[in-house]
């Protein structure tokens, strides 16, 4: 299953922060590049999250959020299709388990 077919398209929550190397996979900005002689970083904390399988900086998240909200009328029917397909697969799996359970009880 591709990420486009799951709610994972929208990331995993509020995000994280790092002091280490970070490259935004949307705008290609590189933050805190390189370690010092002690193997540590002295850069600023960079806020980031995931979206569509990419790591993105906090600066790009606002742009994405704005577009997602703008496209909500397209997104909700798409998400309903995902949920319906999951429900169908779950019902099929339940029937298979019930069949096996019936055979065991017989």
Q: How far apart are the first and last CA of the chain?
A: 36
Task: Return per-residue pLDDT of the chain as tens, 106 residues.
Answer: 444 555 555 555 556 777 778 899 999 998 877 666 666 666 677 888 888 788 888 888 888 888 888 988 998 998 899 899 999 999 999 999 999 988 888 7
Structural domain boundaries, residue 43 = 1-61
Q: Same domain for 1 and 47?
A: yes
Q: Same domain for 52 and 78?
A: no
Does 66 fall in a domain?
no
What's the token pair of residue 16?
Answer: 């994280």
Does 56 fall in a domain?
yes
Q: In what order do the strands lie in the sheet with 16-18?
A: 16-18, 46-51, 54-57
Neighbours of 35 (CB within 10 A): 12
Q: Is the pTM of this model over 0.85?
A: no
DSSP 13: S
Does 16 fall in a domain?
yes
Number of domains composing the chain? 2
């Amino acid at each position: 299953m591709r990420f486009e077919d799951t709610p994972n398209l929208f990331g995993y929550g509020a995000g994280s922060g790092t002091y280490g190397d970070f490259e935004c996979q949307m705008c290609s900005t590189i933050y805190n590049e390189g370690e010092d002689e002690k193997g540590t970083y002295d850069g600023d904390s960079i806020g980031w999250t995931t979206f569509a399988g990419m790591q993105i900086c906090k600066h790009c998240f606002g742009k994405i959020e704005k577009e997602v909200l703008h496209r909500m009328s397209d997104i909700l029917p798409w998400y309903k299709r995902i949920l319906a397909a999951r429900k169908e697969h779950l019902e099929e799996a339940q029937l298979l388990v019930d069949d096996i359970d019936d055979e065991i009880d017989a």
